[in-house]
Amino acid sequence: MAKYQWTGAGETVGQAPALFANVWGGTIGEWEVQEDLTADIDGKVLAFINTTGGNARRTLQLTAAGSSISGRVDIRGRFWKAGNDGSMHFSRAYIAGGSGTETAVYTDYVASTGDGWRFASYNAGSFSSNEKSQVLAGEGWYRFRVLHDPNASTDRHKLWVWADADPEPSTPLAINQLSILSASAAGGLGVGLFSAQEAYLDWISFGTGTDDADDLSAPQATTPTLSSPSATGTGSGGFSASVSTNVGSGTLYYVVTESATAPSATQVKAGQDNAGSPATVSGSQAVSASGAQQVTGTGITDDVTYYVHFVHTANTNDSGVATSAGFLNEAPLLAPTNLSATSITETTARLSWTRGA
């Protein structure tokens, strides 16, 4: 009963993985640790870089897990489904044997034949394909869970797969009722592939015995939080404002009012001030990335102090209202007209003029 994982931690970008050993087919040099800003944890992914093709039962075994794992194995991971849909084996358990006598149970994804995800195995070098699931919808990051329990009375092998942004499904995509290998099969844990031209693994986690695999998914913010609201006048009735959000989707709403008192989120979305009257200026725009959001507009009066109030709605959730500090556009100074001087002496004079308009 133990847990193991690979996240890219301790690996060097641009090098072959140091925490796996190549045990079948190909070489360790066909794999490379690459930087990837979309990775969940350490900003690294494990990439298959052999672009020359060729089929081989390539397998990397996680060194820390050893080579004698048996019984129940729970596996979680995150992988990139590429457009070419080669044969990707992102989960292997009970790895044993050598070239020609390979033994392992794995999850295999093959779209080109319409098989989609399936359980498959090598048993002393003999290949077998088992239960299949649907073909995945499109290119992108996906998460998976595989549970092998060869000593269970039923549902000995179960597979879940879901798109990165979706919730984890409660019902497995595929179930294999019988033990694919002998219930006493023992070996290592790892990853591999057969014929994929492009394959990326973000992380993989294993739990053995009664231990479940750790879910290493990065927390996905669903409720927006706003920060750092600011605004300034830009002259001639214009303004520029900014606010930052932690969620990269949804809609940003804003109103410009003469009151520092924040309207409710409902009022902001309706273009109203805190009294329920139409705001001086209101608007909305789509949010496509987290971080600073910029808005600009016109319609404010010079020499009046205004405040911008923001609300971000995403995933059916509203943020709190964020309010900028007050700002104004100072009216420009215009030259006076009709300047005249009367009652002039050596030291004084009375001046009069018409204010510029």
**For the segment 74-126, what is each residue's pLDDT rounded down to a tens digit?**
999 998 877 655 556 578 899 999 878 989 988 877 766 666 777 888 889 88
pLDDT confidence of residue 221? 62
pLDDT confidence of residue 107? 84
Q: Evaluate if pTM is beyond 0.85.
A: no
Q: What angle do CA 146, 149, 153 make, to 5 degrees?
A: 130
The answer to whether residue 164 scores a pLDDT higher than 70 is yes
Integer CA distances (angstroms), 344 to 337, 339, 347, in order:
20, 14, 8
pLDDT confidence of residue 19? 95
Give 3-208's CATH code, choosing from 3.40.50.11930, 2.60.120.560, 3.40.920.10, 3.40.50.11270. Answer: 2.60.120.560
Range in 66-80, 213-227, 255-269 the model is least confident about = 213-227
Q: How far apart are the first and last CA of the chain?
A: 85
Per-residue pLDDT band at 162 (split at 50, 70, 90):
confident
Average pLDDT over residues 251-265: 97
Average pLDDT over residues 281-295: 90
Integer CA distances (angstroms), 16 to 8, 28, 56, 88, 315, in order:
11, 6, 18, 18, 40
The answer to whether residue 171 scores a pLDDT higher than 70 is yes
**Model pLDDT for residues 9-33, shown as the tens digit of each residue:** 889 999 999 999 999 888 899 899 9
| Contact indicator for 3, 206 with CB cutoff of 8 Å | yes
Question: Same CATH fold, 226-323 and 3-208?
Answer: no
- For the chain, the structural domain boundaries read 3-208, 226-323
Phi/psi class of residue 303: alpha, beta or left (left: φ > 0; alpha: ψ in -120 to 50)?
left
% of the chain surpassing 70 pLDDT = 90
Average pLDDT over residues 325-337: 83
Average pLDDT over residues 295-305: 94
| Contact indicator for 38, 67 with CB cutoff of 8 Å | no
Q: Residue 199 belongs to what H/E stretch?
A: strand 199-208
Mean pLDDT of the chain: 86
Average pLDDT over residues 291-301: 94
More confident residue, 42 or 145: 145
**Model pLDDT for residues 215-224, shown as the tens digit of each residue:** 888 665 678 9
The answer to whether residue 50 scores a pLDDT higher than 80 is no
pLDDT confidence of residue 4? 93
More confident residue, 9 or 253: 253
CA-based nearest residue to 143, from 92, 215, 244: 215
pLDDT confidence of residue 278? 97
Per-residue pLDDT band at 291 (split at 50, 70, 90):
confident
Amino acid letter, 145: R
pLDDT confidence of residue 259? 97
* Size (the chain), residues: 357
Per CATH, the number for 226-323 is: 2.60.40.4070
**Model pLDDT for residues 200-239, shown as the tens digit of each residue:** 899 999 999 999 999 888 665 678 999 999 999 998 899 9
Query: CA-CA distance, 131 to 158, in Å (whole number)?
Result: 10
Query: CA-CA distance, 165 to 271, in Å (whole number)?
Result: 31
Per-residue pLDDT band at 190 (split at 50, 70, 90):
very high
